[in-house]
Amino acid sequence: MAIDWDECAFEYDRCRQRITELLTDDDTAVVIPTCPEWTVADACAHLAGIPASLLAGDVPGADAQSWVDADIARRAGRTVISLLDEWADVTPAFQQMMAAGG
C-alpha cells in the first residue's frame, strides 16, 4: 500500500493544531511523566526543531539522538508559545515537503 503523503501532511497539521490548543506558557516547565528527562518546552522544541532542521537541509546522521539534542539545546529557554509559533511558521513548507513525497 502506497503512502498518501497529502493525507500525512494534512494529519500532521491537525496534530500540531490539537497540541497547540492544549498548551500554554504555564506548561513550559512541566515534566512529561513518560519522558521524565523532558519538560513540555523540550518536547515543543523537538516538535518545532524537526521540521525546521529538515527544511534547512540538516538531516540526522547515524547518531540521531545528538541531532535531536542539538535541536532542543538551540531552543533552550524559550516559552512553549514561542516554540509553538515557530512550529506553526515552518509547518506549511514542511507540509509541502511531505506532500511531495516525504
Q: Is the pLDDT of residue 102 over 70?
A: no
Q: Is the pLDDT of residue 100 over 80?
A: yes
∠31-83-18 over CA atoms, to 5°?
75
Question: The pTM is what?
Answer: 0.91
d(CA 48, CA 90): 8
Q: Name which of 66, 14, 73, 85 is nearest 42 in CA terms.
A: 73
